[in-house]
Amino acid sequence: MIEVRKLCKSFNGKKVLNKIDLEIRENEIFTILGPSGHGKTVLIKLLVRLLEPDSGSISYDGQDISSLSKREFNEMYKKIAFIFQSNALFDYLDVKDNLSLYKKLHTKLSEKMIMDEVLEAIHFVGLGQDILNKFPEELSEGMKKRVAIARAVIKLPSYIFYDEPTLGLDQGNIVKVIELIRSLKKDVSLTSIVVTHNIHLMFEISDRVALLKDREIVFVGDKDNISNVMLQNLYEKGEDYEL
């Protein structure tokens, strides 16, 4: 479980997050919903120490990560995978090497064993072996997203973070990403933390939802308990949401 208490973050004197409290349970899909520019990406980067908070605490299974040395956190980070909005694939590596890099650097598996895991991951996301020798620039946006998910899965994490996983994708690829997020909970028992401004995606995948607005959490709970009036009111105010 991830516990967040009184988390605050500012940039150049401007507060981005104010006293955030959250609990993210094991094996749930937890969605952080909010319009662009209200701190969603900052929040999940804080959760994985890509950024450091000004104050407050973040704990994984009772361990405050701010108390960990860099070496200790790097060891704990093996349980975490992060899928960036831009996918962050290495342009100079083909798909096979993008997927196998973590295993080559952090395990003593044989080349054959690593390749077996690469094939399993690429098949899990619905792609074929023919893609392995291609470079990211040769792939569609939907393929890049699925390769990024495969690269996360091959790490065998306990927690997987998604920053706007459907942004810029067509409807067919959105459906595939939704299916993959659901499968990772059902088949692999992963805890997923999803940041999005897409209301439809939130309803499709979430067990529980946190609504982030104006630097603060204004709702946490089951997705079915979010007031339709609240969501419609936010949308009609011109906030950057997708329905």
Domain boundaries, the chain: 2-236
pLDDT for res 131: 93
pLDDT for res 233: 56
pLDDT for res 31: 94
Q: Which two tokens stand for residue 232?
A: 């419609």
Across the beta sheet with 208-213, the strand order is 80-83, 159-163, 191-196, 29-33, 208-213, 216-222
pLDDT for res 226: 78
pLDDT for res 215: 83
pLDDT for res 76: 83
pLDDT, mean of each 10-residue run, the chain (243 residues)? 94 90 94 85 90 92 85 85 90 94 90 93 92 94 93 92 90 91 86 91 92 87 74 55 49
Q: Which two tokens stand for residue 141?
A: 């946006």
Across the beta sheet with 55-60, the strand order is 14-24, 2-11, 55-60, 63-64
Amino acid letter, 198: N
The bridge status of strand 63-64 relative to strand 55-60 is: antiparallel
Fold topology of 2-236: Rossmann fold (3.40.50)
